[in-house]
Amino acid sequence: MRNIKVLCLLVFTLALIEGNVQAQGYGPQAGDKSVALKFGRAVSFGDVSYYEVNNGLYPGSVVNGVSVSEPTASSYSSYNDLTNIIGIEAKYFVTSQIAVRLSASGTFGGSPSQDYVDGVDDPTGEYYPGTYQPSFRMFEGRSRMQYFLDLGADYYLSSKYERVCPYAGIQFNSIYNQLEIFDGYRGLDGNGEVIPTYDTRRGESYSLGGSIVGGIDYYLSEGMYLGIEIKAVSYMYSAKRVFYQTGMEANDVDAHTTSFLAQPVLKLGFRF
């Protein structure tokens, strides 16, 4: 509740400030640009799990098989309440009625593998603190890449109210997620031989599709607006692939999702 009050106070304050600035009038014009903060449900990147990518290494995988769950990236299912900022949208108005739009986000990162470190025994056999050094197990290295990209165009409809700007548009939507796991030095076996490392394991999921969107922008002042948008119709094809060993054929699962009147978002935008 406190977050909602702060958001409302921020919007009211900015509207008062903006209302004192002379501008070109309400509604977009050719050549205008706008940037909007989007509030609502975040895009989900959680389709490829550590367990699924490493599943082929567990005992019994040969007899019992390995499995990959249905990809769910197309559902945009990560929960966030209305006060959370989930992205930024940029628009450029080619004409006073046609605008191109772009929304995007991504992360890249990972952890390097750490080699096994052999410990030192206590020669007295008493193992009091400070008389021995434990071994450090090998740590699996991991790298992850995630992004989403929405690209589209909107057509603004005429309205008898100066501050109200309804629109309809089309979008290309895409999501990608990749997780790679790799080993370091595993140490020596009982015969003094180097323990072999496992092959690099990699999993990826992606979703591609399109949507028809509809929304309304209400201008609080000449350069600031609140907007509501919803996907009237949306279709996404989602696929997940896991490579358990280098050179091995992937384990594939895919899914098709069609939604109606889904994924509503609230926008706080600025035109300049």
Tell me the pLDDT tens digit for each residue of 189-238.
888 889 888 888 999 999 999 999 999 999 998 889 999 999 999 999 99
Rounded to whole angstroms, what are the CA distances from 234 to 148, 169, 171? 16, 12, 9
Q: pLDDT tens-digit profile of 113-159?
A: 999 998 898 888 888 887 888 889 999 999 999 888 999 999 999 98
pLDDT of the residue at 59: 67
Instruction: Give whole-number Cα distances, 166 to 228, 269, 271, in Å.
Output: 10, 14, 16
Tokens 């600035």 appear where? 21
Q: Mind listing the pLDDT tens digit for each residue in 92-122?
A: 999 999 999 999 888 889 999 999 998 898 8
Contact call for residues 89 and 36 (beta carbons, < 8 A):
yes
pLDDT at 209: 92
- More confident call, 63 vs 190: 190
- Judged against a pLDDT cut of 70, whether residue 10 lies above it is answered with no
Please report, for the chain, how many H helices and E strands are present, in that order: 3, 8
Per-residue pLDDT of 16-59, as tens digits, reads 444 444 445 788 889 999 999 888 876 666 678 888 888 877 76
Q: Is the pLDDT of residue 12 over 80?
A: no
pLDDT at position 179, please?
92
Q: What does pLDDT average to over the chain?
A: 83
Percent of the chain exceeding pLDDT 70 equals 83
Class of domain 2-271: mainly beta
Please report which confidence band the pLDDT of residue 78 belongs to, taking 50, 70 and 90 as the band edges.
very low
DSSP 75: G
Q: Is 91 exposed, middle or buried (0-12, 13-18, 19+ CB in 10 A)?
A: buried
